[in-house]
Amino acid sequence: MQWNSDLERREEFDDDGWRILVVTAKGIYREPERTLARVRKALIARGHPRVPRRLSDEWRLHFSPGA
């Protein structure tokens, strides 16, 4: 039942022009650069005006190597 409700709610978000990105722990801790690239791509596709042309390496300070 909850699954169906969640799907219907997601469709309502889609109808209102929202974009939902699913980010997993693996995406954050094992593939942070790929995850950030996905978020950046979605923001650009939505026309966000302040998305940097390129990610700086500063984001790496927030992630432990090999985490």
The pLDDT tens digits of the residues spanning 22-47 come to 999 999 999 999 999 999 999 999 99
Sort residue 24 into left (φ over 0), alpha (ψ -120 to 50) or beta: beta
With bands split at pLDDT 50, 70 and 90, how would you rate the model's confidence at 3? very high
**Pairwise CA distance, residues 7 & 54, whole Å:** 34
- Confidence band (pLDDT; 50, 70, 90) for 64? confident
> Token digits for 56?
């700086």
pTM here is 0.76
Instruction: Give the position of tokens 């650069």.
Output: 33
pLDDT score, position 63: 82
pLDDT at 49 over 80: yes
Q: Which of 65 and 67 is assigned the larger pLDDT?
A: 65
Spatial separation of the C-alpha atoms in residues 36 and 31, rounded to whole Å: 9
What is the H or E stretch that residue 17 is in?
none
